Amino acid sequence: MAYIELYKDVKEALRAAHVVLFAHKSGYAKIDAQRNLQDLTHYYDDGALKFHYARVLSSRAIYDGLFLRVVESAAKDSENRERGFRVVLWDCFGNSVFRVDCDEMHKTRKQAEKHFADNFTLDVAAYYKERLQEIGEIELRDAQRKIDAAKIIND
């Protein structure tokens, strides 16, 4: 029961901070990933996918929308001589939380998904609490700089 309540608190905190949770946005994996990560990262924009010879194979919200899990296939080198598979996990701020490097990508999608299942662990509440605090502190500093800058202007 505490497990579900924990996510409830995290989701409530994110909504209070006007953070949009992930949701099913399309039956097409690439479009789902693009729409969910729009304005957060350029990672799955058409140009970036083309440059990296990458394809989005699946995209779905997990942990009640707190993360987006994407399975991708991409070139392991700049000449696209060899392809690999990996799972990339995104947080609601557009940060990748889990992703293996290109040289560690797997030969099959199934291997990539197994690697993720075997190796991903995260205290979701602690993670988002830390991120919200960090982002809040950055925004406070930015706001103070703007207030200080406005004082420079003579009326």
pLDDT in tens, 7-55: 899 999 999 999 999 999 999 999 999 999 999 999 999 999 999 899 9
Does the pTM of the predicted model rise above 0.85?
A: yes
pLDDT for the residue numbered 16: 94
Q: Are 62 and 124 in contact (CB under 8 A)?
A: no
Pick the closest to residue 128 from 71, 60, 67 (CA basis).
Answer: 67
Quote the CA–CA distance of 33 and 68 in Å, as a whole number: 8
H/E run at residue 119: helix 109-119
Torsion over CA of 99, 100, 106 and 110, rounded to 10 degrees? -30
Confidence of residue 1 (pLDDT cuts 50, 70, 90): very low
Q: How many CB atoms lie within 10 A of CB 84?
A: 21
